[in-house]
């Protein structure tokens, strides 16, 4: 430990670890970013599926369920024929968009640094 650091801030349940575990899968941050940046905070399932190249319908459904369960998004069933489902960012979800956007902006500005990392198995560039 460095001098003056509080051991409690490095516990397994500390805030930095909890936020990083929230984004341990790429799809959570990508769904948040896509809902916010491309769809103004609200989108139907099919629209999200088309907006996220590489995600399967199964993975999108699983990610949306997990995000709804923890309170990042809300699911609204629309009274149309055939029935449709719309997802929207909750107030909490809007708060989590901010750090995600910072990472996306950093990635865009530092693509050369990301390229210098070399390739990883399963990583795609495009």
Cβ pair 90, 71 in contact under 8 A: yes
For 76-107, what is each residue's pLDDT tens digit?
999 999 889 999 999 999 999 999 999 899 99
Rounded CA gap, 28 and 91, in Å?
A: 16
For 7-61, what is each residue's pLDDT tens digit?
667 788 888 888 888 878 889 999 999 999 999 999 999 999 999 999 999 999 9
Strand partners, 73: 89
DSSP 82-117: S-EEEEEE-HHHHHHHHHHHHHHHHHHHTHHHHHHT
Rounded CA gap, 35 and 74, in Å?
A: 12
Is the pLDDT at 125 greater than 60? The verdict is: no
- pLDDT value at residue 1: 46
Give the residue among 39, 96, 89, 97 at the shortest CA–CA distance from 64: 89
**0.85 exceeded by pTM:** no
Is the pLDDT at 120 greater than 70? The verdict is: no
Six token digits for residue 109: 């500005």
If 0-12 CB within 10 Å is exposed, 13-18 middle and 19+ buried, where does residue 43 land? buried
């Amino acid at each position: 430990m460095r001098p003056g650091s509080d051991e409690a801030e490095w516990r397994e349940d500390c805030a930095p670890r909890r936020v990083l575990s929230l984004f341990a899968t790429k799809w959570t941050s990508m769904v948040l970013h896509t809902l916010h940046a491309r769809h103004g905070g609200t989108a139907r399932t099919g629209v999200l599926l088309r907006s996220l190249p590489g995600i399967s319908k199964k993975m999108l459904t699983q990610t949306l369920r997990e995000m709804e369960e923890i309170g990042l998004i809300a699911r609204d069933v629309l009274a149309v024929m055939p029935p449709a489902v719309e997802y929207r960012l909750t107030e909490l979800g809007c708060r989590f968009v901010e750090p995600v956007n910072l990472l996306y902006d950093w990635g865009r500005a530092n693509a050369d640094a990301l390229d210098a990392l070399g390739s990883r198995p399963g990583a795609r560039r495009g």
